[in-house]
Amino acid sequence: MSAHQVVYLPGDGIGPEVASSARRVLEAADMEFDWIEKPLGLGAFEAHGDALPQDTVDAIRACGVALKGPSTTPIGGGHVSANVRLRKELELFANVRPVKTVPGLETSHGAIDLVIVRENTEDLYAGLENEVAPGVVTSLKVITDRASRRIARFAFDYAKRWERERVTAVHKANIMKLADGLFLDCAREAKEESDAAGGTIGFDDVLVDALCMHLVTNPGRYDVLLLENLYGDIVSDLAAGLIGGLGLAPGGNYGEDCAVFEAIHGSAPDIAGQGIANPIAMILSGAMMCHHLGRPDAYTRIRRGVASVTRDRKDALTPDLGGTGTTEGLTQAIIEGVQAQPQPA
Ligand code: NAI
């Protein structure tokens, strides 16, 4: 089998630590890669004066696939988020974040198996902010028919491909009657289109505040959640917390021509360089990439390998999971766990 050409973006903070773990685990699942390393984030800004050099964007366009570690965005001032720019430039319009209970890791919320489908290109992330008068700032929430329709169709298509049962549109259309009202209308139309095409995916909708309450009281009632950009960002972290923390939640950004795989979490500057970051979210993001590259066998093997470690190798778990292990120790345990898995049929 020929090697997959993939752009490798280590990012900064814990990025290089967890991204290199993911690379090693993917290779342990008998995947062959030709990694093309490119800069992005704080390091790129310091070295090139640009957190997202054009050369990095061009390389992802040419390859079509990237594995990305998290990168820091300064708060308040400083450079514009390289993540937001990347998603816009490559039109990575759909951010998929599966949130599933991890075997062996107890949670106080019961079994969870939901998927967050987040619109990735507009909303308050449009970055259209103005100081209209001293002490008065506006920030524009942009919701378009085109992007809302596109992400809603993606959610129904995803639900069908992954044999899920229901899509729930999340909104605040009682207050933002036009913006969230448009998003909700597009979701309803996507449901009608799905039905017309013979689909059987169910549909309902919920206010984002009620959703948050339901998620901490009865998360099992949700399946695929369809959200605008900002709600999706916030609810993702909440959902990750339900299964044991940010170190466990993977993600993928999909466009028509490119896909970039990255964990939900950020660059965790508070633990960067200490060798204790949890690599699981990044490894599972890598597993999603294997699936995207047409290797569902590697996807399954990696997931099973991770599960074998969270279930049976508590000694290897990192401090965020209540253990005393290190990134390196956990990575090594997962590599052994993956290698011990039989090749799925
Ligand atoms: P964060 O996700 O980096 O960290 C939040 C908390 O979770 C911290 O206590 C951190 O130590 C912990 N944590 C996160 N990932 C972990 C892991 N793998 N293992 C163990 N503990 C982990 O969020 P924060 O602090 O709000 O953001 C830090 C920086 O990351 C910011 O500059 C932010 O803009 C950026 N960021 C980047 C993202 C990306 O590149 N896709 C996504 C989210 C934030």
Task: Determine whether the shortest distance from the Cβ of 70 to ligand 1 is under 6 A.
Answer: yes
Lowest mean pLDDT among 105-114, 179-188, 226-235, 316-325: 105-114
* Strand-pair category, 202-207 with 259-261: unpaired
Whether the predicted pLDDT of 77 surpasses 90 = no
Ligand 1 mean position, distance from CA 69 (Å): 11
Task: Determine whether the shortest distance from the Cβ of 76 to ligand 1 is under 6 A.
Answer: no
Question: 179-196 and 145-161 are packed helices; what angle lies between their axes, rounded to 10 degrees?
Answer: 40
Model confidence band, residue 123 (pLDDT cutoffs 50, 70, 90):
very high
Task: Determine whether the shortest distance from the Cβ of 106 to ligand 1 is under 6 A.
Answer: no
The pLDDT value given to residue 344: 74
Residue from 112, 99, 104 nearest 218 by CA: 112
Ligand 1 mean position, distance from CA 264 (Å): 8
Model confidence band, residue 76 (pLDDT cutoffs 50, 70, 90):
confident
Domain ranges of the chain: 1-102+245-345, 108-113+121-242
Helix (H) or strand (E) holding 208: helix 208-217
Whether the predicted pLDDT of 324 surpasses 70 = yes
Which of 229, 265, 321 is the best mutation target for the ligand 1 pocket, counting ligand atoms within 8 Å of the beta carbon and taking the most? 265
Asked, colleague to colleague, whether 1-102+245-345 and 108-113+121-242 share their fold, the answer is yes
Query: Cα dihedral angle (264, 267, 336, 301), rounded to 10 degrees?
Result: 20
Cβ contact 132:239 at 8 Å:
no
Whether the predicted pLDDT of 1 surpasses 70 = no
The pLDDT value given to residue 75: 84
CATH number assigned to the domain covering 108-113+121-242? 3.40.718.10
Q: Which CATH architecture has domain 1-102+245-345?
A: 3-Layer(aba) Sandwich (3.40)
Cβ contact 279:236 at 8 Å:
no
Q: Tell me the per-residue pLDDT of 161-211, one tens digit each, with 9 for 90 and over.
A: 999 999 999 999 999 999 999 999 999 999 999 999 999 999 999 999 999
Ligand 1 mean position, distance from CA 341 (Å): 31
Q: Tell me the per-residue pLDDT of 287-307, one tens digit each, with 9 for 90 and over.
A: 999 999 999 999 999 999 999
Model confidence band, residue 342 (pLDDT cutoffs 50, 70, 90):
confident
Rounded CA separation 276/263 (Å): 16
Three-state DSSP at 102 gives coil
Q: Write the burial class of residue 273 (CB in 10 Å: 0-12 exposed, 13-18 middle, 19+ buried).
A: exposed
Task: Determine whether the shortest distance from the Cβ of 275 to ligand 1 is under 6 A.
Answer: no
For the segment 220-234, the average pLDDT, to the nearest whole number, is 97
Distance of CA 40 to the CA centre of its chain: 17
Which DSSP symbol is given to 49?
S
268 Cα nearest atom in ligand 1: 3
Lowest mean pLDDT among 68-77, 132-141, 156-165, 269-278: 68-77
In angstroms, how far is the first alpha carbon of the chain from the final one?
Answer: 17
Q: Tell me the per-residue pLDDT of 87-99, one tens digit each, with 9 for 90 and over.
A: 999 999 999 999 9
Q: Write the burial class of residue 152 (CB in 10 Å: 0-12 exposed, 13-18 middle, 19+ buried).
A: buried
Rounded CA separation 342/165 (Å): 30
The pLDDT value given to residue 201: 98
Q: Tell me the per-residue pLDDT of 3-22, one tens digit each, with 9 for 90 and over.
A: 999 999 999 999 999 999 99
Whether the predicted pLDDT of 159 surpasses 80 = yes
Mean pLDDT score of the chain: 95
Helix (H) or strand (E) holding 332: helix 327-339
